Amino acid sequence: MYALKDAYLIREKTCARVYEMYIDMRCFGEGYEEFYKRLSEEGIHFIRGKVARITDQALSEEEKGKLVVICEDTLLGNMLRVPVDMVILCIAIEPRSNAEQVARLFNISHRPDGFFQERHLKLDPVATPTGGVFVVGCCEGPKDITDTVAQALAGAAEALSLISKGRVTLEAAIATVNTALCLGCGRCKEVCEFHALEIVEDETRMPLCQVNEVLCQGCGTCAVACPTGAMSIRHFTEGQILSMVNALVEHR
């Protein structure tokens, strides 16, 4: 779509003859198909085919001093040589080079393509697993202005709803440490995705794990990784879970 917009602006501002080579035309939004048809009627030359090569080697007087775009018109089944003054490449949108470092800094997820990932595509499209951090616009994926503005408004509304409360309610089921069993080995800290654990020294200068209750999301990964069983999830200890299982078995 941004290629269509560029073609429209160039045609309008310079009255140039514009050629647009494409493989698939995907006009996905409201009024976009009508925009495409309007450009076709106003003289934008659309050629369905992939550009094979761009060269400055002229084969005729018309091509001298110009760039020659060599492509195949798949609708006509012919190879074309299109002499032009300027070639504009419409490349794909990529995430910033430091996107991975930003994701690690704010403890948010990112997809294999590098863009940040929302908590839920449909139910929570701007939130992240880290409370108070929201992703909007092209950092989440390629978007046009309309979708970017809509997401920005949603993210601002989510942030204002948190501020207006004045207080933040934390989850009750979070990690807790049995200091009598903890050896301070750091295995729990290594696997924690929310950076909620720190290894500190107690009054005897022995290493000990400490939980940041604000950051902890109660996922239970640390409890699984702890070799001594010192880590557990509050209200979901092993004894409580086994008691629930026994109660269900007795009921049956």
pLDDT tens-place string over residues 100-126: 888 888 888 888 888 998 888 888 889
Give the integer Cα–Cα distance in Å for 158 and 96: 25
Q: What is the mean pLDDT of residues 224-248?
A: 85
- Tell me, yes or no, whether 78 and 21 share the same domain: yes
Q: Assess if residue 129 is contained within a domain.
A: yes
Render pLDDT for 65-93 as a digit per residue (tens, 0 to 9). Answer: 889 999 988 888 888 899 999 999 988 88
Render pLDDT for 30-67 as a digit per residue (tens, 0 to 9). Answer: 889 999 999 989 889 999 988 888 998 888 888 898 89
Mean pLDDT (the chain) is 87
Q: Assess if residue 124 is contained within a domain.
A: yes
Q: Assess if residue 12 is contained within a domain.
A: yes
- Tell me, yes or no, whether 65 and 120 share the same domain: no
Is 192 a residue whose pLDDT tops 90?
no
- Tell me, yes or no, whether 80 and 104 share the same domain: no
- Contact residues for 47 (Cβ-Cβ < 8 A; gap 6+): 19, 20, 21, 22, 71, 73, 80, 82
Is 237 a residue whose pLDDT tops 80?
no
Residue range(s) defining the domain that contains residue 190? 175-251
Q: Report percent pLDDT > 70 for the chain.
A: 99
Q: Assess if residue 92 is contained within a domain.
A: no
For residue 44, give the nearest of 78, 90, 87, 9 by alpha carbon.
9
Is 19 a residue whose pLDDT tops 90?
yes
- Tell me, yes or no, whether 160 and 179 share the same domain: no
Is 7 a residue whose pLDDT tops 90?
yes
- Contact residues for 217 (Cβ-Cβ < 8 A; gap 6+): 129, 171, 174, 194, 196
CATH value at residue 198 = 3.30.70.20
